[in-house]
Structure 1
């Protein structure tokens, strides 16, 4: 029910035109979160596309709530008063960034891109004409972010909102026409998308967007729009026409989301790879930070693709249907390998140094030792996969240069009926982090995702001694110099291994960290590990340290920071 018109508490007049100020954006974000919170259950109930998993309302609410909290954080920041008070640009950018960081599900991810598109225009001006242009930019950018746009969805509703107000005008008029255009388009969605027509419902994401625009209209006019009529429950017959996901269903079994730090070119390659892996692909963001959403059967491969493109984090994997658990073995049975049967799952890891290989073997991994100047070939890795004698294998190459050989070995093993997931670990410390979270009793995809996330969250460094004069990214080094390589690039050139190690550690911990892993070879100076542990303990109170001994055949020192 509409309430009586109220004064324009959250808008200001500029040159006789009503414009949104920062407080108006703040009020809009609050009303949006409130409206979606109020309607989340009703929206969840009509969620039949792209997957009938009943969470669109919840995902939209969580995304909007994160956007509102980001706006509030701007206003709560120290010094956010007087001349330093947030302006419209600060508020709309915070709203869009908060949504990007916490976007949930397919519709939440699209909503974050709609807000991002609007923010780019409203930061320049916030009168009615700018709002009309902002809605048009939002609709086009959201459509571009979806790999295979469908009509009758939130994208259609967004386009109709933009079309309804394309001629501009005053702020209240633009907001009203945008809302009315969206609402009319929402009512037409059952005739545009077969699954909606079969269920007898409107699009859930589109209904959520109408609530967002309704909150905007209330903010600039002081009048809440008439409530939408209650939606009927989806017709039971519609269940067979939706994407029935999960084992035994017609669609992918997992929803994968993660934030990704990567460049534009890498993201374009990532989109092509993820599009081949699954469906419902949405990649939003820009300026080096992206939110990736996709539905796949191979969740590990989706995360692996993110690692190859850049740095994924905040990884979330949701089952659309529970995968069957592996059959348990009786306590009195001999191990599968001893019975000549395949084990359920194994990890194959390439590791430098006898000590490190032995340590990981004790943790249950089948190891391949990498000797200086003698990297293992694809045949060596395939032999190790076969030697593991398991139905499912996680392969950790632990070296960037071994990625091609590992991929070849994985493909050949798959041709033999072995399910192989290649996690593109680039250093032994990443492999150790992955192995630390390995749990063979959970589903294969969940295990691979957890291991991939642990590896991706581990920054790595290596200390080596230069064999000859050379040009490096840190300058010219001479034979005998100590080189500190961070993420594969020479960052420090020193004379003493211990001093260089301290410098490398300090540089890595400047970016934060909770756990430092030190892998020390026999060739390292005596007492190196103890010295570095003390250095971390005194300089970084909240950081823990763990040390492993690599024995012979490894670089003097490997460092991991998680």
Structure 2
């Protein structure tokens, strides 16, 4: 790596991402430990790490495409990959803002990477980040970003790339040191802003990439001396929103403008970043389902992550919760339902099953000593087992309940009781899931052989426990036949999960069919949102 490059070229950008990831990896726990604003959930360092990890991975993918050739990738391609990777991988409030900062820089640096463009890039980044935050607050990462930009712009025109980067870094450090005096919650805790600390770390990596000198980013007391009482948390009148909702969104600018207004009325800590049709949405709300529905109205939300904050905002979230549940769900409607029941959810879209890394991420986000993992899909058994094993190496006790369908996961979650011992809870959840027979309806895409005979494209298939047992002409008739077959063996409760394109009337019709034919059987109906199956059925 050149010691003092004249431009922030493709190789230097790659080095920047790598160095930033290494530095955040070293400081991750320390930054988590000083996270008291906007929510004292102790995950800012982790969120920033995952955000930069995604940016670095995108950059490495661009370089990998050139491994067999004699040239490196185009500078503009690498810069844009860094910004795009951060956008799609952004985690939490701090990670989302960092993604917008990198996007703002990329818009300028894609033209050139000299000192003049770096000055402008830092200024554009700070301005873009403020616009992305619904209600900017001083004493946060926004203040640190603005100070870095102002210090960089103040350098002389004859300053080189390293001088501009150093000015930005030192300006950010000075602003970070002042944050306890700007934000009372930080002053009472005796810590600097965690997001700002992360940005200083990233800017230190930038300086190292262009100047070849490692820079420490810590300001203030050492992590082990920080007061972690949690008295510094600053909850709202009702203790603050219960859920953090994050999703990627494909939508137009006009639709996103309306979405901002809707989400701003629903909660706080709203950050919407992106552009060119792709956005990353972050908000804290009490009604997670409404936040997701707002995204559906605006466009196509995906990679939806809903995290349930601990009800007690005491002890600053320093001590992990004793127990949590992580559930994979096939639709955004069930994501909201499970989150309201206290679970951390991972959305599995049709054809896009989550990787083990996503499940490990969700287990970490649950922030608990003990985690019950519900894969809710037979095909995810090995993926979930790998995630559980990885989490165990990090000191988290994980139990994998082998749920094979979302309705089994709902049954398991319904009997979850954190107050009993971990083993007893896992046994009860496993028993509830095992006592739930599951079925789903699907539409045949082509002619094929099934256990029920030959189906044609467009036929409605009824699957029980994963096997095709009914071939029908329409959804209502096939659903009734499947229900009759399942209830012939008995049952006390039927759960119906309707897909996005299925009318509510179907739920009413099937509930009436059950009432008329099976007097002692109760029925519950949920909207599943976008899911692969038009109807999911569970019988307990």
Count of matched residue positions in the alignment of Structure 1 and Structure 2: 362
- Maintained 8 Å contact 1:118/1:138: yes
Partner in structure 2 of residue 153 of structure 1: 140
Q: Secondary structure at the match of 1:165?
A: helix
2:32 aligned with 1:44: yes
Paired residue secondary structure (1:152): coil
Q: 1:139 aligns with which of 126, 135, 138?
A: 126
- The match for 1:403 is none
Task: Give the unaligned 5+ runs of structure 2.
Answer: 313-329, 353-439, 446-451, 462-467, 479-500, 503-529, 533-540
Query: Post-superposition shift, 1:20?
Result: 1.4
Q: 1:95 aligns with which of 73, 76, 82?
A: 82
Q: How does 1:497-516 map to 2 (within 5 A)?
A: none
Q: How far, CA to CA, are the matches of 1:210 and 1:225 in structure 2?
A: 10
Query: How far has the Cα of 1:165 moved from its partner?
Result: 1.2
- Summarize the Cα distance change of 1:274–1:547 in structure 2 as closer, same or farther, 3 Å threshold: farther
| Structure 1 residues 229-253: Cα deviation after superposition (integer angstroms, max 9, x where no partner) | 543555456x3442448xx951001
Q: Give CA deviations for 1:361-383 in whole Å, capped at 9, x if unaligned.
A: xxxxxxxxxxxxxxxxxxxxxxx
1:252-289 CA-to-partner distances (Å, cap 9, x unmatched) read 01100000000000000000000000000000000000
Q: 2:196 aligned with 1:206, yes or no?
A: yes
Question: Does the C-alpha gap of structure 1 residues 444 and 53 become closer, same or farther in structure 2, counting only changes over 3 Å?
Answer: closer
Aligned to 1:253: 242
User: Could you list the per-position Cα deviations for residues 332-370 of structure 1 after superposition, in whole angstroms to 9, with x for gaps in the alignment?
Assistant: xxxxxxxxxxxxxxxxxxxxxxxxxxxxxxxxxxxxxxx
Aligned 1:452-471 pairs, distance under 5 A: none
> Segments of 4+ in structure 1 off by > 3 A?
229-237, 433-440, 442-450, 456-459, 544-549, 551-554, 558-562
The more displaced of 297-306 and 219-228 is 219-228
Normalising by structure 1, report the TM-score: 0.58
**Contact preservation (8 Å) 2:201, 2:216:** no
**In structure 1, distance between residues paired with 2:191 and 2:177:** 9
Q: Using a 3 Å threshold, how does the CA distance of structure 1 residues 244 and 20 change in structure 2: closer, same or farther? A: same
Report how far residue 225 of structure 1 moved: 2.3
1:106 corresponds in structure 2 to 93
What corresponds to 2:253 in structure 1? 264
CA 1:445–1:301: 2 relative to 1, 3 Å: farther
**CA RMSD across the alignment:** 3.7
Q: Do residues 310 (structure 1) and 299 (structure 2) align? A: yes
For residues 181 and 171 of structure 2, the distance between their equivalents in structure 1, rounded to whole angstroms, comes to 16
- What is the deviation of 1:123? 0.5
1:125 maps to which residue? 112
In structure 2, the partner of 1:509 is none
Give the Å deviation of 1:319. 1.1
What is the match of residue 532 of structure 1? Answer: 457
Distance 2:191 2:333 in 1: 47
Structure 1 residue runs without a partner (length 5+): 1-7, 13-17, 324-432, 460-514, 521-526, 537-543
SS at match of 2:35: coil
CA distance in 1, matches of 2:132, 2:103: 12
Query: Offset at 1:552?
Result: 8.1
Deviation sequence 1:56-96 (CA, Å, 0-9, x none): 0010011111111111110002666335x312211111111
1:9 to 2, 9, 33: 2
Instruction: Please state how far the C-alpha of 1:318 moved relative to its aligned partner.
Output: 0.7
Q: Where does residue 60 of structure 1 map in the other structure? A: 48
CA pair 313-120 structure 1, distance change in 2 beyond 3 A: same
Residues 519 and 549 in structure 1, CA contact (< 8 A), matched pair in contact too: no
Aligned to 2:233: 242
User: Closer, same or farther in 2 for the Cα pair 1:92/1:184, shift >3 Å?
Assistant: same
- 1:489-500 paired onto structure 2 within 5 Å: none
Distance 1:547 1:553, change over 3 A: closer
1:23 — aligned with what? Answer: 11
